[in-house]
Structure 1
Amino acid sequence: MARMTWLVNRLRCMSVAEVGYRVQQAAVTRLGKRIDAGAPPPLPRALTLRLQGAPALDAAERAALLDDAERILAGHVLLFADRRFDVGAPPAWNRDPDSGVTAPAVFAGDLQVTDRDKVGDIKHIWELNRHLHLVRLAQAWALTGEERWARALAAQLRSWLDQCPPSTGPNWTSSLELGIRLINWSLAWQLCGGEAGPLFAGEEGERLRADWLASIHAHCRSIARHLSRHSSANNHLIGELAGLYVASSTWPCWRASHGWREQARRELETQAQAQFARDGVNREQAFAYHVFSSEFLFVAGLLGQASGEPFSRNYWGVLQRALRFLRSVMDVGGHVPMVGDADDGAVFRLDATGASRAAQLLALGDAVFGGGSHAHPGARWLLHALPGPRPDADAHETETGWAFPDGGYLLFGANFGTAREIKGMLDCGPLGYLGIAAHGHADALALTLSVAGEECLVDPGTYSYWQAQKWRDYFRGTAAHNTVRIDGLDQSVSGGRFMWLKKAGAAIERMPQSPHDFDFRGSHDGYQRLADPVRHVRSVRFDGASHTLVVRDEVAARRPHEVELFWHFAPELNVRLTSTGLSARGKGFTLQMQAVGADLKLELVRAAEHPPLGWISRSYEAKEPCDVLRITTVSSAVPVECRFTINFI
């Protein structure tokens, strides 16, 4: 019944053209089960960039990288942001390393990857099989020249090719995963010396090369047949195209390679423009996927530079604007608000420090566009693996901004970039991208705030895609964001874990003139669907001289409704209720809040589970308690006004 409900909801989000495409894809999958054959013999040519050694690393960077490589040899691999799993040596590639469930080695089109009893958590399997850790072994070889690292890499590849033949098992069920794997295979290929490297020495090496190339051909063929289209054409399509472009450029070994490369290149140019707003915001309204998609575009672009087939100035302009937005929303402490979905997915992992991927991306942009000093080790490694001239780009792109109305974000505050920084962000954009808005959250008119580089009012993040439904619903729901909920209902109507059926639309009614003298008014229509329609209007004023933030929420309806207003505080803060409101204290600031309205009830909630409230997730599959102020009243018109006063210690 749950599966049937999901199918009905999914059909409701599809156009007639998409239904036809899905039927065609199902036929292609079934046909592939019968007619897929091995790869044709490769032509004797591949792209080998003839790299020399490794980039300059300090002693600590070198030691951390080699320590991680040693752990991989022992079967302990870092997955997601910071969780290390025992995957085996060599790994059991079709096993979920968390639950221990091994997916059956059947035709990939017959697998239901959401069946946890038979497959486990598919996210864990896919994460291991992206092969980010294989690049670490190639880095260790490039650093030391020790053959044991090349042998370890060859052994891992050999075991994967044996356990995961084309079209068989869970690792052939997602074109995006195939694309990421191809990118990391390309990086490992270059860092290990390409065709002349130690991987392919001797008879065993020749067999490894032949089998690897056959699998690469099957990857490319599968991606080209199963590109994400229509309402699924989000970061998945960018990742699939990037993988297809990188593979067909690195290994232009078959007659189809030229066509794959040109198609991928052409569509990447188009998707870069389509999936990023004119002001640089990724249209999925999920900041982690903003970084993720940018990583794909960078890898493809850099390989184009290295191979003498550069992408256009417009393509690089998209990346410049994307970095400008990311740099703008990051506070002086390096924090980026956790807007929308996040699963810690990375296209590549080239540093061993666990540093912020947003910081790595900005460092990469500084090096590529500004000729910077490659301060981040991950950026240094990527530019070493994919060397080439600087792209044709606008050298005068503004470093930061505060107004991103096309993407739907406005910044307010004072002293940006200094130790006394106050930086707030208001979300006044769409729910997400395309028909299902898969990675957006029901967060219209929510805001975040950091002070002196410390997070204060936070977006609690994502936690998990596949844990119990209540957790998925909570973290993407309205109650998990600093905004208003009516009658206990989310602003938008969910149709599944990655689907919204009815989407709240936000509108800017009064545009501020500056971040330090900020005066905003906006509304959304998410509760117009109720039998007694409700209109939520939020006004936000920030005065930079007095460090005062005033948020006024109005609801307009014919009859009274339950109104809840939520404020989520970072776990590191000391938060307590006062007689008139709330007090929060950080390392370098204090914040006082007063709430004014009719019959208000103020309640501080922490770590509630039934229903969930008072949680934050800073990495995938991890959550911790945080304090949430819930303000409730019953009203049809009386506004609620919250006044925040910030003082530095």
Structure 2
Amino acid sequence: MLAKLGLYANTIKLMKASQLYYRIRKMMKMNCSVGCDVSSDAGQAEPITTVPELDFDPVFVERFPADEILTDKITILHTSKEFHWNQKWHFDDKSALWNFNLHYFEYLFPLIDAYRKTDDRNYLDKSVEIINCWIDQNPQKSGGEGWSPYTVDLRLTNWLSYYSYVNEDLDTKFREKLLKSIYEQYVFLSCHLEKDILGNHYFEDLKTLILCSLFFHDDSVLEISLKAFRKECKEEILPDGMHFELSPMYHKLILEGMIRVAVALRERGKPDTEIEHYLQPMLDVAWSFEEGLERVPLFNDSGNNVAKSLQALVTSGKEHFEIQPVYKAKFENSGFYIFKKDDWKLIVDAGQPGPTYIPGHAHCDAGSFELFKAGKPVIVNCGTYAYQCKERSFFRSTAAHNTVMVNDTEQSQCWGAFRMAKRCKVSVKSATEKSIVIELIDQKKQRVTRNIQMNDSLMITDYSEKNKLTAFIHLAGLIEVDITGDKKNLKGNYAPDYGEMSLIDVVEYSGVGEISAWVNF
């Protein structure tokens, strides 16, 4: 009991007072509104400009085969389910994340893509059937995943784009039903902002309110939402362009949201230079991380099958804003450093474990790295797999990353699905084009210095006087690792995608005072 109280105390003390205030309001079933009432006139709906480069990104569309959906089968996060749509939209045998994704409606776009390419009405009719069934089976009073604000955010964004593509092909009765539901969800969202969570959730709330207010010509909500959105962007986008939750995957999701807002505002004759200012540095981050690689790097909560592809983001930036990504090797504000040698690419995480008040997507990955050869992952972090699951604690642990721990102590106290109590502190002592020296102070204030050098070989040396050190290297490719100290060859879980897991080789090595590992190129 005392240990549990300690976890709560060390978690809560780093939260913002406003988070606690709004969490209490939520527990008391009180609203958290945008600050003004949504316009009562829902009849002014006008399609907003879409971003087809994102909506019909081939990598994204392939995740949901349109012909499979025609047969009432849906595949989400590598798990398939026969679903006839006019039944309860929740499955006890599926993960919480799978059930949330079911309500996002990302799978509308493969259907519309197929309809646009073939002119086969069956694809459009199936999309109408699915939306009809959701509206009928998920009344607001039923609550559940379908009425979680974050789910409403993503669904509304997708439905607004869907409407823009096909509204002229819809019959009047369904169009009116769809608009009525969009408006109902818009009103709901305006009273259920996630100010208790903040971070990417609150960003998505504000993004969606902006898009809906443009859709309904609701100027009062637009003005207030834009002001809050600009303020949130200053908070969430670090000076080096990285999203402050320090996940390459979530960074891409936030960049997509920024692009959608900026495009929609331009189309309405309301271009916002402050918002557009973030696009170049954010695109630079995404490009620098993923350029030349076959997947997104796995730092903090990340997976390769959630965000749009790098190419779709790059194409959108060029098409709508005439910007091109610029490669950078150093991101000092977020703590990421990139090193290259011939066709080898090394990415090192020397950052803090996320924002102090919202470390829900943070892992014990300080000082960790991923190594790629010709774009293919060779030494990897283990990924994320899922959120509310028994494997969650492992995937956030120190042992799931290519880093080091002192006296068998986790770097930070991760608990629950999204909690972190005592946490480590990280500082970069020096960084050159070929090396970086990082000091890590773990949750028990134990210090270790990690020196990573990339010349004709990759050399990792950890030092902590008189302390036991244990480090991990996870191998996704055929590569030899030499070490000093005691060595164990193990097997470990690896999840480069959400919902899919496999076993890979793991080298665990330990010693007292100093240990080293190196990879000859």
TM-score of the superposed pair, with normalisation by structure 2: 0.89
Equivalence for 2:502: 624
Q: How does 1:57-206 map to 2 (within 5 A)?
A: 68-80=65-77, 82-88=78-84, 90-96=85-91, 99=93, 121-192=95-166, 194=167, 197-201=168-172, 205=173
Which of 191, 194, 210 aligns to 1:225? It is: 191
Equivalent in 356, 377, 382 of residue 460 of structure 1: 382
Gaps of 5+ in 2: none
- Structure 1 residues 91 and 172: alpha-carbon distance in aligned structure 2, compared to 1, 3 A threshold: same
Alpha-carbon distance in 2 for matches of 1:66, 1:548: 38
- Matching of residues 206-355 of structure 1 within 5 Å: 208-229=174-195, 232-252=197-217, 257-312=218-273, 314-342=274-302, 346=306
Code of the residue aligned with 1:464 in structure 2: it is: A
Counterpart of 1:111 in structure 2 is none
The answer to whether the 8 A contact 1:273-1:315 is kept is no
**Contact 2:314–2:325 (Cα < 8 Å) also in 1:** no
CA shift for structure 1 position 345: 7.3
**In the TM superposition, what whole-angstrom CA distance separates every residue of 1:248-306 from its partner, at most 9, and x where no partner exists?**
21233xxxx32222222222222223212111111111111111111111122222222
Once the two structures are superposed, residues 404-440 of structure 1 have per-residue CA deviations (whole angstroms, 9 ceiling, x without a partner) of 111111111224xxxxx11111111110124131101
Distance 2:12 2:23 in 1: 10
TM-score (norm 1): 0.72
Superposition pairs of residues 289-438 of structure 1, within 5 angstroms: 289-312=250-273, 314-342=274-302, 346=306, 357-370=309-322, 399-415=326-342, 421-438=343-360
Return the letter of the residue paired with 1:86.
E
* Structure 1 residues 140 and 93, CA gap change in structure 2 (3 angstroms): farther
What's the counterpart of residue 554 of structure 1?
Answer: 463
Whole-Å separation in 2 of the counterparts to 1:293 and 1:616: 25
SS of 1:154's equivalent? helix
Q: Does structure 1 retain, via aligned residues, the 8 Å contact 2:15–2:356? A: no
Q: Give me the identity figure in percent.
A: 20
**Structure 1 CA distance, aligned partners of 2:165 and 2:179?**
17
1:91 offset after TM fit, Å? 4.7
**Higher mean C-alpha deviation, range 267-276 or range 453-462:** 267-276
* Cα distance, 1:345–1:164 mapped onto 2, change above 3 Å: farther
Instruction: Write the distance in 1 (CA, Å) between the matches of 2:169 and 2:297.
Output: 44
Distance change (3 Å), C-alpha of 1:550 and 1:68? closer
| Counterpart in the other structure of 1:594 | 482
CA contact (8 A) 1:75 1:91 kept: no
Pairwise CA distance, 1:93? 4.8
Inter-CA distance 342–178: structure 2 relative to 1 (3 Å threshold): same
Amino acid paired to 1:623 = M
Question: Contact conserved, 1:324 with 1:399, CA < 8 A, in 2?
Answer: yes
With over 3 angstroms needed to count, the CA separation of the structure-2 counterparts of 1:414 and 1:40, relative to structure 1, is closer
Question: C-alpha distance in 2, partners of 1:509/1:292?
Answer: 31
- Is the Cα contact below 8 Å between 1:340 and 1:441 reproduced in 2? yes
CA distance in 1 between counterparts of 2:14 and 2:219 reads 35
Q: Secondary structure at the match of 1:186?
A: helix
Q: After TM superposition, give the deviation of residue 318 of structure 1 in Å.
A: 1.4
- Structure 2 vs 1, CA of residues 66 and 629 (structure 1 numbering), >3 Å: closer, same or farther? closer
CA distance in structure 1 between the partners assigned to 2:62 and 2:29 by the alignment:
43
How many Å separate the matches in 1 of 2:63 and 2:458?
Answer: 48
User: Retained in 1: the 8 A contact 2:263–2:320?
Assistant: no
Aligned 8 A contact 2:427 2:440 in 1: yes
Aligned 8 A contact 1:334 1:359 in 2? no
1:643 aligns with 2:518: yes
SS at match of 1:506: strand
Q: Quick one: distance in 1 between partners of 2:82 and 2:482? A: 50
Q: How many residues align?
A: 511
For 1:619, the aligned partner's letter is D
Separation of aligned partners in 2, 1:31 and 1:640: 52
| Structural mapping, 1:575-586, within 5 Å | 584=479
Counting only pairs closer than 5 Å after superposition, residues 610-621 of structure 1 correspond to structure 2 as 614-621=492-499
Contact 1:65/1:140 (<8 A) preserved: no
- Residue 93 of structure 1 contacts residue 129 of structure 1 at CA under 8 Å; is this kept in 2? no
Letter in 2 for 1:26: M
Residue 45 to residue 454, structure 1, CA distance change in 2 (3 Å): same
Residue 286 of structure 1 aligns to which amino acid in structure 2?
S
- d(CA) in 2 for partners of 1:629, 1:50: 51
Cα deviation for residue 622 of structure 1 reads 1.4
Residues 47 and 160, structure 2, Cα contact 8 Å, conserved in 1: no
Measured in 2, the distance between the counterparts of 1:524 and 1:221 equals 46
Q: Which has more radius of gyration?
A: 1
Task: Give the whole-Å Cα distance in 1 for the aligned partners of 2:506 and 2:64.
Answer: 40
Q: In the alignment, which of 438, 455, 470 is matched to residue 522 of structure 1?
A: 438
User: Structure 1, unaligned stretches of length 5 or more?
Assistant: 33-38, 100-119, 348-355, 371-394, 416-420, 575-583, 585-591, 607-613
Instruction: Determine which of 448, 472, 478 is the counterpart of 1:566.
Output: 472
Q: Cα 1:251–1:167, aligned 2, differ >3 Å: closer, same or farther?
A: farther
Counterpart residue identity of residue 458, structure 1: V
Q: CA deviation at 1:366?
A: 3.4
Q: Secondary structure at the match of 2:354?
A: coil
**Quick one: structure 1 residues 200 and 78, their matched pair in 2 at CA, closer, same or farther if it must change by over 3 Å?**
same
Q: 1:476 aligns with which of 381, 396, 405?
A: 396
Paired position in structure 2 for 1:26: 27
Higher relative CO (Cα under 8 Å, sequence separation at least 6) belongs to 2
Matched position secondary structure for 2:227 = helix
CA offset at residue 13 of structure 1? 4.2
